[in-house]
Structure 1
Amino acid sequence: MDVPNDNLPAKTSPAVLALRDIAFGSAAGMISKVFEHPFDLTKVRLQSQVLDASARFSGPLDCLQQTWRKEGIRGLYRGLPAPIVGAMAENASLFLSYREFQNLIRAYIHPLPSSEALPIKYLCLAAAGAGSITSCLLTPIELVKCKMQVQMLSLKPGQKLPGPLTVLSTVVRETGFRGLWLGHTGTFIRETGGTAAWFGTKEFVAKLFLRNGEPGRRLTPWESAASGACAGAAFNIALFPADTVKSAVQTTSELRPELTGKISFLSTARDMWRAQGIRGLYAGCGVTIARSIPSSAIIFVVYDELSRYFST
């Protein structure tokens, strides 16, 4: 999103702006997720083995190689439908909520016309609010995704892998609808702080690009990509351990069934710290940052270019 809160014509109605945020965010999320899914699968599998004494993978490259050798291309994209839906919902919610929280800040905290950008601290506040709302939508989708991504690791001979709807119905049957929000504490922490870092970094870098330009100039595609890439790295560096703990909590029933229903976010974090220290809490961080940089660049290029095209 370009630095002024709203570069669209003043006559554009709030309803149209909201629909555009939803449509553009959904498109950006879907495209980026297809690119990044094999790396996300690697991250989840590495995170899920932190408390496993007989770790299957020595690192991200080993995980990718073993997955390719044993499961092929279908294995690398195991569980893709759930994150595709999740990415569309996540980015639509993020961009829409981000705009609305900015509007609230302009109305009640820091009055400014929509043609002027809010200070970075208020943009980060708006982004944190957007992340907190999005986390509620994202937790059930990530629960299904994470369970599907590790199912192959505990598969018994002759056992058939269940699909996303089967996984979803199993969770509801065994734990009720409340069980769909297993691991929400980690998702909430990651999305609230991470989204503040994501949008805040993007807006900060974008301002640097636009600082000496002509008034009203918009980001070029490469500038959107560069600022988005920085944002992607910032998101994951900010609160990655929360995501690691969340993944471990959500995959307990697949890899450590004896602990199902007996663990919490804090107890899992404590166990992971005792098992491998800071290294365990950052399991899969390298591959996550490596994929989040181009993925985030894709998201902002798609969103900014669609906004540019439909505002002219």
Structure 2
Amino acid sequence: MPSYVTDANLTSYELAFCGAMAGVFSRVVIAPLDVVKIRMQLQTHRTHFKFRAAENSDIQYSNIRQALKRIVREEGIRGLYKGNMPAEYLYLSYSAVEFWAYKELEQKVEAIDVNHKVPHTVKTFGSGMIAGCIATAATYPFDLLRTRFAVNKGPQMYNTSVTQAMVDIYHREGPRGFYRGIWPAMIQIMPYMGLLFSSYDVFAKSFKKLRDDNVLSKGYKPTHDMLSGAMSGFFSKMAVYPFDLVRKRLQMEGSYRAESNQSWLSCLMSIMKREGVRSLYKGLAPSLLKVAPANAVTFMVFEETKDLLILFKEVK
């Protein structure tokens, strides 16, 4: 049985187009929170499990509101959208590859499991997990550029085009420089995308059943898709957040640090030792505030684009 995402009569490439549209729209919504999250993640002060944080003059971004105000004051409104162009490329290409791969994987799994012995949730989890890995590997350089542009506050780094920034990274760090932090990204993305697709399938199908039973109005389907995306994104992000922070730290190493070859595990241990275990969750608040609307918009736009394509095909 196909999942809620792929139950329409659309090809993998048509779903890739739907995913690309969803990625572009979701990025526009969450860009400022993404910049705040990255700035918080890259602060190296020690944190503790306390209800009230100690005063620390080294903390530039202490909470979401203060960070937003400081960035606007020091860098203007455009500061909230630093790294937006590589991020748009990232979201467009990532979502396109992800939904294409998910459809292809689901079809292959269904063809192998002809007797339907594998639980449906396991299929959606596995397909989402592998699709996320494929999309991450294919688009990772854009993720690295997004991080470096978002952190840049001076004229010395990337105030040029995306192409020039890529040339600069290649000359200074070599081809491997485009993939700094990819291992924690892979470790993070496997459970995250698996949980995201499997939980979205559960939530979305539950809403669909309530609509089919006339408990909920069919006119609110976009809202139901948004709620399903928001809830699945929220819980999935909570589970894998420390790996996201390690990934951001490793992405910045080649930019301004000498020790640019540490592994993701040594980076993780170093953060816990120098900054405390709670530091693995720096930037969690803006990340959660970002992931809910991002996934809500992503899946809503995806489903609406999918319905529109189906309508066009029926008219033909």
Question: What TM-score results when the alignment is normalised by the length of structure 1?
Answer: 0.87
1:160 and 1:298, CA in 2 relative to 1: closer, same or farther beyond 3 A? closer
Task: Quote the Cα distance in structure 1 between the aligned partners of 2:249 and 2:64.
Answer: 17
Q: Is the 8 A contact 2:272 2:280 kept in 1?
A: yes
Residue 307 of structure 1: how far off its partner (Å): 1.1
Tell me the CA shift for residue 195 of structure 1.
0.6
- Residue segments in structure 1 that go unaligned for 5+ positions in a row: none
Taking the aligned partners of 2:204 and 2:119, their CA distance within structure 1 comes to 13
Shift of 1:263: 2.1
**CA distance in 2: counterparts of 1:277 and 1:226, whole angstroms:** 34
- Checking the alignment, whether the CA contact within 8 Å between 1:27 and 1:88 is kept in structure 2 is yes
Q: 1:106 aligns with which of 107, 110, 131?
A: 110
Matched, 1:95 2:96: no
C-alpha distance in structure 1 between counterparts of 2:261 and 2:71, whole Å = 30
Q: Note if 1:271 corresponds to 2:270.
A: yes
Distance apart, 1:277 and its partner CA:
2.5
Are the aligned partners of 1:36 and 1:291 in contact in 2 as well (CA < 8 Å)? yes
SS at match of 1:141: helix
2:3–2:124 Cα contact (<8 Å) kept: no
Structure 1 counterpart of 2:140: 139
Q: What is the alpha-carbon distance in structure 2 between the residues aligned to residue 211 and residue 51 of structure 1? A: 49
When the two chains are superposed, the root-mean-square deviation of aligned CA atoms in Å is 2.5
Return the TM-score normalized by structure 2. Answer: 0.86
Counterparts in 2 of 1:138 and 1:278: CA distance versus 1, 3 Å: farther
Secondary structure at the counterpart of residue 251 of structure 1: helix
Partner of 1:69: 73
Moved more, 273-282 or 181-190: 273-282
Distance in 2, matches of 1:30 and 1:307, equals: 15
**Which residue matches 1:211?**
209
Aligned residues: 295
Give the whole-Å Cα distance in 2 for the aligned partners of 1:148 and 1:159: 8
Secondary structure of the structure 1 residue equivalent to 2:76: helix
- Per the alignment, do residues 309 and 270 of structure 1 end up closer, same or farther by CA in structure 2, a change over 3 Å counting? same
Give the conservation status (yes or no) of the 8 Å contact 2:147–2:251: yes
| Deviation readout 1:78-136 (Å, 9 max, x if unpaired) | 11000000000111111111111111111123555xxxx97112111110010111110
Q: Report percent identity of matched pairs.
A: 22
Confirm whether residue 47 of structure 1 aligns to residue 41 of structure 2. yes
State the match for 2:23 in structure 1.
Answer: 29
Residues 310, 160 of structure 1: CA spacing in aligned structure 2 closer, same or farther, 3 A cutoff?
A: closer
Pairwise CA distance, 1:175? 2.0
CA distance in 1, matches of 2:274, 2:64: 19
- The answer to whether the aligner puts 1:83 opposite 2:87 as a matched pair is yes
Structure 1 residue 37 displacement after superposition: 0.8
SS in structure 1 at match of 2:135: helix
Query: Which deviates more, 271-280 or 142-151?
Result: 271-280
Deviates more, 1:24-33 or 1:129-138: 129-138
Q: Which residue, 181, 184, 187 being the options, matches 2:182?
A: 184
